[in-house]
């Protein structure tokens, strides 16, 4: 196999990896937006009440009130123990070529004081419209900025960045 062919395959694999990552991020964020109102509605009757066991798990009555959460190929959701908030972790996976790309988003639904749900929280800001072109442009911008920083640091080399 020629070097040109290997380089072409490497470029194609990179394109597929970026596309898979973009798809995984958009999928996880879409699921976070979809789940927030369902979880909030299920937890509304528990505001001001104990919802967490001493070991950090959810009380059985709370588990019973929750909607069925995705747990399969593509998207998995699980309760993510936190000290001061009720949140769920959403893991999206997208397969490409001979690999897989993952992204995890968290959806916070309420605040805790100890084991008591004190209030429900509004849905966070999640983008679901990332594109491959946008990500590649942002990466190129980062590369240009890093090069500019290296050039500026080089020009400063006799002095350093900070005075002591």
**What ranges do the domains of the chain cover?**
3-127
Q: What is the pTM of this model?
A: 0.85
Q: Which residues, other chains included, contact 100 with Cβ-Cβ below 8 Å and sequence gap of 6+?
A: 20, 93, 94
The per-residue pLDDT for 117 is 97
The answer to whether 52 and 115 have CB atoms below 8 angstroms apart is: yes
The per-residue pLDDT for 124 is 92
- Distance between alpha carbon 91 and the CA centroid of its chain, in Å? 8
pLDDT tens string 45-95 = 999 999 999 888 999 999 999 999 989 889 999 999 888 999 999 999 999
6 or 47, which is more confident: 47
The per-residue pLDDT for 104 is 97
């Amino acid at each position: 196999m020629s070097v040109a062919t290997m380089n072409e395959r490497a470029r194609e694999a990179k394109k597929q990896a970026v596309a898979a990552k973009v798809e995984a991020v958009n999928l996880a964020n879409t699921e976070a937006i979809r789940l927030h109102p369902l979880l909030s509605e299920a937890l509304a009757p528990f505001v001001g009440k104990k919802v967490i066991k001493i070991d950090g798990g959810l009380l059985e009555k709370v588990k019973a009130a929750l909607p069925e959460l995705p747990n399969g190929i593509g998207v998995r959701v699980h309760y993510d123990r936190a000290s001061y908030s009720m949140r769920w972790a959403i893991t999206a996976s997208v397969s490409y070529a001979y690999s897989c790309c993952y992204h995890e988003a968290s959806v916070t639904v309420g605040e805790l004081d100890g084991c008591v749900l004190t209030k429900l929280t509004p849905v966070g800001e999640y983008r679901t419209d990332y594109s491959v072109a946008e990500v590649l442009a942002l990466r190129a911008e980062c590369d240009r900025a890093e090069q500019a920083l290296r050039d500026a640091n080089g020009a400063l080399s006799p002095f350093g960045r900070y005075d002591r």
